[in-house]
Structure 1
Amino acid sequence: MAKTVILKNVTKTYSMYESKSEQLTDLLLPFKKKKGRKFDAIEGITFSVEEGDIVGLVGINGSGKSTLSNIIGGLTPASSGEVIVEGEVSVIAIKSGLSNNLTGKENIEFKCLLMGYSKEKIEEVMPAIIEFSELGDFINQPVKQYSSGMKAKLGFAISVTADPDVIVIDEALSVGDQTFTDKSLAKMMEYKKRGKTIFFVSHNTKQVENFCTKIAWIEGGHLREFGPTNTVMKNYRTFIRKYNKLSETEQKAFRDSLAAGRKHD
C-alpha cells in the first residue's frame, strides 16, 4: 500500500526563558548569544503510516503526543526533519481553533471559509453541521459561553464535514456526554471503513485498543515503540501499571528525569 504519512527524524524544539527580558533580548537582538535554554518537545521521530491505518498516539502527560499530532496536522512546523502527508488533512481537537467572540454559527462560517468553501457550499452544509453538533439554540450564542464539551462538539461537527484524507483527533472525544462520544466514534468508524488514515490521541486505553490498528508510544519526546495495537498496547499497559503503583513523589521524579533529558543549551 502507498504510504500516506511519513515522518523522518522529526524534531520540535522550543526556547525556554526565565524572564520576559530574556525573550525580548533574543527577539530584538538575533545576532547576540541566545539566553534561553532549549527544550525538545519531540526528538528524532521516525515512522510511516499507510492509507487506512488508524494510529493511536499514547503516552503519559507531557510526553509530546499533542506536539506530534499538531505537526502531522500542519498546525505546527517541525524544527528539523521531514514530514510528508499525502492528501488533505483535518485536525479535530478540544480547543478546535474556535474564536470565543464569534457565535457557534459564525465559527462554522469562518472555519468553512478557511477550508475553501464557497458561500453556497457553506449554506449547503450548515444545517448538517448544526444538527451533528447537538447545540440547538446555543449555536447563536458566543463560543466564550460554551463549556469545553460544547466546543468539542462544534469543532468535531465542522471538521468531519470536510471529508479529509487524513484526520488527526486530539482528545476531542474525551469531553462531552457519552451519547455524543458514541456518535462521534461511529462517524470515525465510518471513515475507517472508507479507508481514511486517522491519528487518535487519547488517554482512554480501551478506546485506543478498540479503534486503532497501530500504536505510536511516545515517552519523553521520543518514539519508544511503534507497531500493531495488540503488541504495543500490551507493553504500554504493563508500563502504566508499574507507573501507577509509584507514589506521587516517585512519579514526579520519573517525569522530571525525562524532562531533564529534553533540555539543552
Structure 2
Amino acid sequence: MSEEYKIKLKNVTKEYDLYRTKSEKLKSFFNLTKHDNVPHFWSLKGVSLTIYKGESVGIIGVNGSGKSTMSNIISGIIPQTTGFVDVRGDTSIVAISAGLKRSLTGLENIRLKGLMQGMSFAEIDAVRDDIIEFADIGDFIDQPVKDYSSGMRSRLGFAIAVHINPDILIIDEALSVGDDTFYQKCLDKIEQFKKEGKTILFVSHSLKQVEMLCDRTAWIHFGDLRMLGDTEEVVNAYRQFSADFKKKSAKGRSNYQKEKKQLQLNFDINAYEQQVAKETQEKEGIAEHEAKKATHNLFYGEVLPSKMTAASKWLILVALFVMLFFAFVTVSGHSVTKSISDPSVLLHPVYPKTSGAGQIFK
C-alpha cells in the first residue's frame, strides 16, 4: 500500500438545523427572530481517518449513522461544519440517481457530467458509446431521466462515474439495485479500478460486498468513527453488534436508538474543541494557548462560514428593498425623482392615455 494518502479527515463534524417550517428557516437565515429553540442535529461528531492511494475502504453502519454524509463531504457535495478535509484527486460519486438531472435525457446527462468533470467534448464523445453500452438501458438513453426506474438511474449513474476516469471512486449503496448481470459488471469494473491503483470508497449495507471488495473498513456509528481497521476484523465486530442488538427487546432497541440520537442532538462543539485542544497540548507538549489556537485553526481554518454575517444580511435586505422600490416606480409610471421626494405618489399610478377603442375602459 502506498504511503501517499488520497483522503484525509481530521475532527470532521456536520451539523444540521432541524427547522420545523420554511418560514422558520427563512427568519433564521436573516436572523429576524431568535431561534435558540431550533434543535441542532450532528450527523458527524468528530471523524478522523486517512485513506491511502490504491486502497479500497468500506464504510458500514446502521441507517442514519452518517455514512452518506461523510461520502458527500469527501466528494464535495456538502461542506463540513468543522474540521480538516483534504482530498487529493478528482472524485466521482455513484449513488442512486446521484448528480443526474431528472429533466434531461440520459445522453444529456452524460454530456453534463463529463463537462462538470472538466472533460472536453471530444473526450466525452470518446467514452459516450462505452457508457451507453455499460448502462444497458436501450432507447431510454434519449428519454428524460425522470421516466427511468431506480435501477435504470443507478445503472446510468454508475456507468458515467466509472468511465470519466476519476482518481477516487465513491460508491454509495449504488449496487443495491439492478439485476445480477449488471451487478457482476459493476464488480468487474471495481476490480479493474483496484488493479489500476485507484482509490475506492465503498458505502454499503452488504457486508459480503464489503468483504469481497475492501482492504480496510470504517464503522460509523451514530456520528462517531467506532472502528477502523482490517475489513474482516471490523465486519466481524459489526456482525456481533447486530446480533446483540437483535437480541434486545423491541423497547430495548428503541431506547438504545433514542439514546444515541439524543447524543447527536446534545453534542457540544465547543466542549469537543476544548477536549481536542487539551489532547493536542498533552501530545505536542506545547502551551495551552498555543494548543487552543492550533485546534481552532484546525476546526475552522478550512471551513467556509455557514451563517451570514450581520453586514451581509443587512446588505441583502437593502438590495431587496431597492429592487421592490424600483418595481413600484416602474408600475406607477412616475419618475424616480418624484417617487423619492414624495413616496405617496406610488399609491396613485399614472395610467397611459389610450385612443380609439381603448377609450371604453376610461
TM-score above 0.5, yes or no: yes
1:158-177 paired onto structure 2 within 5 Å: 158-177=160-179
Per the TM alignment, residue 80 of structure 1 is displaced from its structure 2 partner at its CA by 0.4
Residue 116 of structure 1 is matched in structure 2 by 118
TM-score (norm 1): 0.95
**Stretches of structure 2 lacking an aligned partner (at least 5 in a row):** 269-362
Per the TM alignment, residue 25 of structure 1 is displaced from its structure 2 partner at its CA by 1.5
From 253, 256, 263, the counterpart of 2:255? 253
The answer (yes or no) to whether the contact 1:216–1:227 under 8 Å persists in 2 is: yes
Instruction: Label 1:248 to 1:109 Cα distance change in 2 as closer, same or farther (>3 A).
Output: farther
Residue 96 of structure 2 is matched in structure 1 by 94
Instruction: Label 1:26 to 1:217 Cα distance change in 2 as closer, same or farther (>3 A).
Output: same
1:148-163 paired onto structure 2 within 5 Å: 148-163=150-165
Q: Quote the Cα distance in structure 2 between the aligned partners of 1:122 and 1:2.
A: 30
Question: What is the aligned-residue RMSD (CA, Å)?
Answer: 1.5
CA deviations over 1:104-132 (Å, ceiling 9, x no partner) = 11111111111122222222211111001
From 43, 46, 52, the counterpart of 1:50? 52
Per the TM alignment, residue 54 of structure 1 is displaced from its structure 2 partner at its CA by 0.8
Residue 207 of structure 1 is matched in structure 2 by 209
The answer (yes or no) to whether the contact 2:28–2:34 under 8 Å persists in 1 is: yes
Residue 16 of structure 1 is matched in structure 2 by 18
Instruction: Label 1:239 to 1:144 Cα distance change in 2 as closer, same or farther (>3 A).
Output: same
The answer (yes or no) to whether the contact 1:209–1:230 under 8 Å persists in 2 is: yes
Larger radius of gyration: 2
Letter in 1 for 2:248: L
Deviates more, 1:168-177 or 1:31-40: 31-40
Instruction: Label 1:137 to 1:11 Cα distance change in 2 as closer, same or farther (>3 A).
Output: same
Per the TM alignment, residue 151 of structure 1 is displaced from its structure 2 partner at its CA by 0.3
Instruction: Label 1:248 to 1:134 Cα distance change in 2 as closer, same or farther (>3 A).
Output: farther
Per the TM alignment, residue 45 of structure 1 is displaced from its structure 2 partner at its CA by 0.2
Structure 2 residue 256 is the aligned partner of structure 1 residue 218: no
From 76, 82, 88, the counterpart of 1:80? 82
Q: Quote the Cα distance in structure 1 between the aligned partners of 2:32 and 2:59.
A: 36
Residue 232 of structure 2 is matched in structure 1 by 230
Q: Quote the Cα distance in structure 2 between the aligned partners of 1:7 and 1:123.
A: 36
Residue 71 of structure 2 is matched in structure 1 by 69
Instruction: Describe the SS at the equivalent of 1:261.
Output: helix
The answer (yes or no) to whether the contact 2:60–2:219 under 8 Å persists in 1 is: yes
Deviates more, 1:164-173 or 1:251-260: 251-260
**Stretches of structure 1 lacking an aligned partner (at least 5 in a row):** none
Instruction: Describe the SS at the equivalent of 1:97.
Output: coil
Instruction: Describe the SS at the equivalent of 2:92.
Output: strand
**Percent of pairs identical after alignment?**
46
Letter in 2 for 1:86: R
The answer (yes or no) to whether the contact 2:27–2:33 under 8 Å persists in 1 is: no
Letter in 2 for 1:90: S
Per the TM alignment, residue 35 of structure 1 is displaced from its structure 2 partner at its CA by 4.1
Per the TM alignment, residue 219 of structure 1 is displaced from its structure 2 partner at its CA by 0.5
- The one of the two structures with greater contact order (alpha-carbon pairs below 8 A, sep at least 6) is 1
TM-score (norm 2): 0.70
From 194, 202, 205, the counterpart of 2:196? 194
Q: Quote the Cα distance in structure 2 between the aligned partners of 1:83 and 1:259.
A: 25
Q: Quote the Cα distance in structure 2 between the aligned partners of 1:172 and 1:37.
A: 31
Residue 31 of structure 2 is matched in structure 1 by 29
1:174-189 paired onto structure 2 within 5 Å: 174-189=176-191
Q: Which has the higher helix share?
A: 2
Deviates more, 1:152-161 or 1:104-113: 104-113
